[in-house]
Amino acid sequence: MNHDAHRPAAPDPWDMGFGVVVLLAAAAALAVWFPLDIQGGFVEAGPNGKPEPGDAFFPVLLASALLALAVLHLAVVYIRRGSNLEDDDKAAGRLTPGNIRFFLLFHAIVIAGMAVIYWFGPLAVGAMNAVGLVDVGYRQLTDTAPYKYLGFLAGGGMMTLVLICWSEGGLRRRSLITLVLLLVALIVLFDVLLTNVQLPPNADY
């Protein structure tokens, strides 16, 4: 009797290793690095006495998100262990032309999106200035709606939409609605609720 046939397959070591490394790095950042290196707190009182994000706010949020995603990744890898194992074994550890194409295309989309985020607002305001719709430059409008949202909405929307269409093989109405809700939620969070935070790229102007 072959007992190995009834033994659960072991999780993929590469997937498990990736999750463990991210989990340990995020835990070390939260428990050791941030307490020693960041002087400010998570939330601090601003000049007007209202609570505002402190120096540790965004690093802690990012590390906490990575920690949660690492735990989720490890859980999924463990639950799905043994599925498509033969195909995974054939592809494991190999760098294929498809991998390189994916890497280059993904980064090209992200870089293009970031470029639109950075340049769309100033270029749009410059064009409006040339035809007399506004009489100031983008620097003077970085805290004025709707101008301060131009680059974030155009670049962030374009980048996310292209990535969604690429991953799903087309555009679905549900995905478009999700994208709009996400952009609105980010604007409300980072521009309305967090008064001392500016949406990109406004802090650079």
Mapping DSSP to helix (H, G, I), strand (E, B) and coil, where does residue 82 land?
A: coil
DSSP letter for each residue of 94-120: ---HHHHHHHHHHHHHHHHHHHHHHHH
Q: Tokens 């590469």 belong to which residue?
A: 14
Domain boundary among 91, 115, 142: 91
pLDDT at 84: 54
Tens-binned pLDDT, residue by residue, of the chain (205 aa): 455 555 556 677 778 888 999 999 999 999 999 898 888 788 777 667 777 777 788 889 889 999 999 999 999 888 887 665 455 555 555 678 888 898 999 999 999 999 999 999 999 999 999 998 999 989 998 888 899 999 999 999 999 999 999 988 888 888 899 999 999 998 988 888 776 677 888 877 7
pLDDT of amino acid 40: 77
- Identify the CA nearest to 134 among candidates 124, 143, 120, 148: 124
> Whole domain around residue 67: which residue ranges?
10-91
Q: Last residue of some domain: 76, 91, 106? A: 91
Q: Are residues 167 and 105 in the same domain?
A: yes
141 contacts 148 by C-beta, under 8 angstroms: yes
> What does the alpha-carbon distance between residue 24 and residue 182 come to, in Å, rounded to a whole number?
29
Cα–Cα separations (whole angstroms), residue 86 to 6, 59, 77, 81, 90: 17, 40, 15, 12, 6
pLDDT value of residue 162: 94
The pLDDT score that the predictor gives to residue 93 is: 55
Task: Say whether both 177 and 104 belong to one domain.
Answer: yes
Residues 117, 196, single domain; the answer is yes
Would you give the distance in Å from CA 43 to the centre of its chain? 22
Instruction: Please give the Cα distance from 178 to 166 (Å, whole number).
Output: 16
- For residues 184 and 146, the answer to whether their CB atoms sit within 8 Å is no
